[in-house]
């Protein structure tokens, strides 16, 4: 194993910053599986069905949306629609991760399954390619293992463990995502973009269908980046002409 | 027009297939499209946008409405900890502790009518 280049090793045994971030976010997110398992069973699914969702769908927003619609009396088609809409952002993540990690072969198939908020966020928050790989795989595999384990716990024990919010798990998720965003806010321009996107999302949540606000934010970010790159190119050309 | 008749398992399998295909779709974009300084900037800006969106969603969203509750305490505690250069794991723990404490002290939150 040690003869492989570090960028090809999914999870290096050393506790690098990316590995630590991946593990922290895995625990914060994985424990939330209890909530999903319990809610799924409360919505009328069997333990097997709850596990199938966590193993095969493996994307928290879509999973909660799916059982949420069923619990509210909606049809299977409506549940599918809601889950699909909330999954669209994973396609955006896939593009980002393809550009960042360049996964091929069996790693590509597995990597796609593990492409979720947390794995993408951890990878994207790193600066070096080997740390990006580590962040993605540690967070991806970590969340997968813990999310599924705790879905089972939640499905079997139901409400016995109480509300995860009592233990502040929702606060842990907030802190984790802020922690991943923070290093990127070193300059004024990303701060402005972050504030703008945050405001847009806050406005969009009550107005748009679930899952759409974040896709809108991604589109705004892409447009901003595109415009900014164009501005930099024009500046360089102008400077080149004047020199 | 007849609707597709499936039992719960059928919808689950279909929804799961849909989720995986969506993830694959991102990876299917030709690599050439994603290269170059412009796309690098786009990727960086999209990362900031998505992370900011995730922070706001996880802090303020309550179903399809906005709410101010104990999660705001987590955001503030995390921001302070990050500003004081605390390590990542400590930031997460402090966020959890802040919202658990706020809830224990009785912060049940208010919904924001919009």
| Domain range list for chain A | 15-176, 186-243
Find, in chain A, the residue whose alpha carbon is nearest to that of B20.
A113
Testing the interface with B: which of A172, A204, A210 to mutate, by most B Cβ within 10 A? A172
pLDDT at B2 over 50: no
Residue that is written with structure tokens 């999209």 in the block: B46
Band of pLDDT at residue B1, cut at 50, 70 and 90: very low
Q: Which residue has the higher pLDDT, A188 or A21?
A: A21
Mean pLDDT, residues A219-234? 90
User: Which of A28, A30, A36, A10 is closest to A106 using CA atoms?
Assistant: A10
Closest CA of chain A from B114, distance in Å: 7
Q: Is residue B104 situated within a structural domain?
A: yes
Q: Is residue B94 situated within a structural domain?
A: yes
Q: Which helix (H) or strand (E) holds B113?
A: none
Q: What is the pLDDT of residues A16-52, one digit of tens each?
A: 999 999 999 999 888 888 888 888 888 889 999 999 9
Nearest to B39 among A99, A171, A175 (CB): A99
Bridge partner list, B112: B66
Token representation of residue A16: 């690098």
**What are the helix (H) ranges across A102-128?**
106-113, 117-124
Asked if A122 is an interface residue toward chain B (Cβ–Cβ < 8 A), one would say: no
Q: What is the ipTM of this complex?
A: 0.84
Q: Is residue B2 situated within a structural domain?
A: no
Backbone angles phi, psi at B29, to 5 degrees: -60, 130
Token representation of residue A151: 């879905």
From residue A99, give the alpha-carbon distance in Å to each of A28, A96, A126: 27, 5, 14
Sheet of strand B65-68, all strands in order from the earlier edge strand to the far edge: B61-62, B65-68, B110-112
Asked if A33 is an interface residue toward chain B (Cβ–Cβ < 8 A), one would say: no
Who contacts A238 (Cβ-Cβ below 8 Å, separation ≥6)? Answer: none
pLDDT at B55 over 70: yes
Q: Is residue B108 situated within a structural domain?
A: yes
Who contacts A50 (Cβ-Cβ below 8 Å, separation ≥6)? Answer: A36, A37, A40, A41, A151, A154, A155
Backbone angles phi, psi at B112, to 5 degrees: -105, 115
Judged by DSSP in three states, A92 sits in helix
Rounded to whole angstroms, how far apart are CA atoms A74 and A243? 66
Closest CA of chain B from A111, distance in Å: 9
The residue segments making up the domain with residue B25 are: 8-112
- Identify the pLDDT of residue A236: 84
From residue B39, give the alpha-carbon distance in Å to each of A123, A219, B78: 17, 13, 31
Q: Which residue has the higher pLDDT, B103 or B34?
A: B103
The number of beta carbons lying within 10 Å of the beta carbon of residue A56 is: 15
In chain B, the number of structural domains is 1
Q: Is residue B1 situated within a structural domain?
A: no
Q: What is the pLDDT of residues A71-91, one digit of tens each?
A: 777 788 888 888 887 888 888
Judge whether B26 and A92 are in contact, CB under 8 Å. yes
Rounded to whole angstroms, how far apart are CA atoms B105 and A30? 26
Asked if B92 is an interface residue toward chain A (Cβ–Cβ < 8 A), one would say: yes
Judge whether A164 and A32 are in contact, CB under 8 Å. yes
Q: Is residue B33 situated within a structural domain?
A: yes
Q: What is the DSSP string of A35-91?
A: HHHHHHHHTT--HHHHHHIIIII--HHHHHHHHHHHHTT--HHHHHHHHHHHHHHHH
β-bridge pairing B65-68 and B110-112? antiparallel
User: Which of A171, A183, A168, A146 is closest to A18 using CA atoms?
Assistant: A183
Judge whether A104 and B28 are in contact, CB under 8 Å. no
Q: Which residue has the higher pLDDT, A227 or A105?
A: A227
Q: What is the pLDDT of residues A149-186, one digit of tens each?
A: 999 998 998 767 666 666 777 788 888 889 888 988 98
Q: What is the DSSP string of B21-51?
A: HHHHHHHHS-GGGG-SHHHHHHHHHHHHHHH
């Amino acid at each position: 194993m040690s003869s492989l280049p570090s960028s090809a090793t999914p999870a290096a045994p050393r506790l690098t910053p990316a590995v630590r971030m991946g593990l922290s976010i895995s625990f914060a997110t994985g424990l939330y599986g209890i909530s999903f398992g319990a809610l799924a069973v409360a919505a009328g699914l069997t333990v097997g069905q709850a596990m199938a969702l966590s193993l095969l769908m493996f994307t928290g927003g879509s999973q909660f949306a799916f059982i949420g619609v069923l619990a509210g009396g909606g049809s299977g088609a409506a549940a599918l629609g809601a889950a699909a809409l909330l999954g669209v952002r994973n396609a955006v993540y896939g593009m980002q991760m393809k550009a960042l990690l360049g996964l091929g072969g069996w790693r590509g198939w597995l990597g796609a399954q593990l492409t979720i908020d947390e794995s993408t966020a951890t990878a994207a928050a790193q600066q070096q390619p080997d740390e990006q790989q580590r962040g993605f795989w540690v967070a991806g595999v970590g969340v997968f293992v813990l999310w599924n384990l705790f879905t089972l716990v939640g499905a079997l024990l139901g409400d016995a463990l109480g509300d995860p919010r009592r233990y502040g798990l929702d606060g842990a998720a907030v802190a984790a995502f802020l922690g991943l965003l923070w290093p990127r806010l070193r300059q004024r321009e990303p701060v402005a973009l972050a504030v703008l996107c945050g405001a847009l999302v806050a406005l969009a949540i009550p107005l748009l269908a679930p899952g759409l606000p974040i896709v809108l934010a991604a589109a705004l970010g892409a447009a901003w980046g595109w415009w900014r790159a164009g501005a930099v190119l024009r500046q360089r050309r102008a400077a080149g002409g004047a020199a | 027009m007849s609707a597709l008749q499936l039992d719960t398992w059928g919808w689950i399998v279909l929804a799961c297939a849909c989720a995986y295909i969506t993830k694959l779709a991102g990876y299917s974009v030709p690599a050439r499209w994603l290269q170059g300084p412009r796309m690098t900037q786009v990727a960086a800006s999209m990362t900031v946008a998505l992370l900011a969106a995730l922070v706001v969603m996880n802090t303020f969203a309550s179903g399809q409405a906005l709410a101010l509750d104990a999660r705001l305490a987590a955001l503030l505690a995390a921001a302070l900890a990050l500003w004081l250069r605390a390590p990542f794991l400590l930031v997460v723990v402090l966020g959890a502790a802040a919202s658990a404490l706020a809830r224990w002290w009785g912060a049940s939150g208010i919904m924001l009518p919009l």
